[in-house]
Each structure stands twice: as C-alpha cells, then as structure tokens.
C-alpha cells in the first residue's frame, strides 16, 4: 500500500499519524526536547469545519454540542468504511444499536444494508457509510430540521474528503436533506440526481428499516442498487 493511501486509512480510522523529526537518525536515543510531535499542530477549535482533516473532523464531531442531541447520546456516530471508497451510503441517524456501538448501521437495518451492498459485489468495508446526523434522536424519532442543519457541515466535509463517485441516499430523511426537496422517496427513486457541491451522481432508495417492514418493495430497492452498480461501472445511469 502506498504511503498516501496508508495515511488516509489511518486518518479515517481516527489514528494520528506521527512524523519523525527532520534529521532523526535510526537507533539514536531521543532526548526529552526531541519527543515526537504529531504531524499536524494541535487541532484548532476555531478552524472552519471545511478545512479539517479526517482526524480533526472526527474529533470535532466527538466534542460537538451544536444541538440538543448531544445531551442524550451515548457517543457520536461519525461514519465508517474505506476512505477511498467510490460509493458513499448516507442514512438518517443512529438508532439505539448504533448509539451503543458508535458505528452506523449495525442493527437489523444494517444487516439488510450489508446484504444489499453484497448484492452488487460490495463488502461493507469497501464503501463509506455515514448519516445525516451523528447523534441518536431520542426514541428513534426523525431528526429535526435544526439538528440536521447543525450537523450539515460535518457531512459536507465527509463528502468533500471522500469525494465519492456515487452517493446512495437511503430513506426519506437522507434524500430530503441531501437534495433539498420534500418529494416522496417513491418519486425520487428511479432516476439519477446530482449532489452539489461536487456534481456527484446520487441515487435514492428505500431505507432498509422500511424494507424490513415492507419486503414487497425490495425489488424496487434492487433496481436502485443496480443503478448504483451501473454508475460505478460507467454503464447507462438510468435506474431500471
Ligand atoms: N438507520 C440509519 O439511518 N442510520 C443508522 O446508522 C442506523 C439506522
């Protein structure tokens, strides 16, 4: 793995990359004044979100108190996956399982999402998964507009850092926030949208939790996944 790629993986996993100091010699004892320093300076709490690295962004999110959801969360749920992923999956908000685990889509809906991805040849580890909001809304209610707005810069930065080739918006809350519309998912699916900034192709599909309640719509979700596959393989972008 090349050095740049290795660094991106480590950064996305929240691991600080340490630099040897200039002039360091292998085997030479390091004196107290020479103790290693992080490559980056200590994160600047005032730095704009749009300028943050993966590590800084993760730390900023973990400390976030921009909306009241921080009062009831166990922990923030930042996102997970390959920082070089070509596909970014964006859900709604962490549920109880995710709040406990600190990882998106780990419950039953997550298992179905994994199966949906596997169906187009993608392991969960090969994509990047995030949510519109990073903290669990109490009682699994939909996130309020002000909560989604407070979290928006974090998701925008994740998208900018990842620069995915395709975005898959799962569910109404995700589609509405990403596309700035209130149209029903049933009307948004079946075509390729564009996410701005970045002009990134975006496909809308049903939320896996909804599909667990309405398995008869899985065939439509399969069409949506096939549209994602075609976009990733540069075939005709139209959903079936
Ligand atoms: N539903 C979501 O939208 N996101 C999760 O992380 C879990 C369930």
Euclidean distance between CA atoms 134 and 59, whole angstroms: 12
Task: Judge if the beta carbon of residue 104 lies within 6 A of ligand 1.
Answer: yes
Share of the chain above pLDDT 90, in %: 78
3-state secondary structure 164-208: CCEEEEECHHHHHHHHCCCCCHHHHCCCCEEECCCCEEEEEECCH
| Ligand 1 atom closest to Cα of residue 170 | 3
Q: Cα of 78 to ligand 1 centre, how many Å?
A: 12
Euclidean distance between CA atoms 107 and 101, whole angstroms: 10
pLDDT, tens digit, 9 for 90 and up, residues 148-185 = 999 999 999 999 999 999 999 999 999 999 999 999 99
Q: What is the pTM of this model?
A: 0.83
Task: Judge if the beta carbon of residue 133 lies within 6 A of ligand 1.
Answer: no
Task: State the angle between helix axes of 172-179 and 145-162 in degrees (0 to 180), rounded to the nearest 10.
Answer: 70
Task: Judge if the beta carbon of residue 91 lies within 6 A of ligand 1.
Answer: yes
Strand partners, 80: 129
Euclidean distance between CA atoms 57 and 66, whole angstroms: 14
Q: Cα of 20 to ligand 1 centre, how many Å?
A: 40
| Ligand 1 atom closest to Cα of residue 131 | 4
Task: Judge if the beta carbon of residue 92 lies within 6 A of ligand 1.
Answer: yes
pLDDT, tens digit, 9 for 90 and up, residues 92-133 = 999 999 999 999 999 999 999 999 999 999 999 999 999 999
């Amino acid at each position: 793995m090349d050095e740049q790629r290795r660094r991106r993986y480590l950064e996305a996993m929240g691991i600080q990359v340490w630099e040897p100091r200039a002039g360091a010699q292998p085997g030479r004892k390091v004196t107290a004044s020479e103790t290693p320093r992080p490559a980056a300076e200590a994160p600047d709490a005032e730095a704009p979100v749009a300028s943050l690295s993966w590590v800084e962004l993760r730390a900023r999110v973990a400390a976030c108190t921009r909306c009241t959801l921080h009062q009831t969360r166990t922990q923030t749920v930042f996102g997970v996956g390959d920082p070089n992923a070509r596909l970014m999956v964006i859900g709604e908000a962490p549920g109880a399982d995710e709040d406990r685990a600190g990882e998106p889509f780990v419950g039953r809906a997550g298992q179905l999402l994994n199966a949906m991805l596997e169906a187009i040849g993608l392991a969960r580890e090969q994509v990047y998964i995030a949510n519109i909001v990073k903290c669990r809304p109490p009682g699994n209610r939909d996130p309020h507009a002000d909560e989604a707005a407070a979290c928006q810069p974090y998701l925008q930065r994740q998208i900018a850092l990842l620069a995915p080739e395709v975005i898959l918006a799962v569910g109404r809350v995700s589609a509405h926030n990403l596309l700035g519309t209130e149209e029903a998912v049933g009307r948004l699916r079946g075509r390729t949208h564009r996410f701005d900034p970045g002009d990134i192709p975006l496909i809308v599909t049903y939320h896996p939790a909804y599909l667990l309640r309405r398995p008869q719509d899985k065939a439509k979700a399969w069409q949506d996944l096939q549209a994602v596959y075609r976009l990733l393989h540069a075939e005709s972008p139209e959903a079936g």
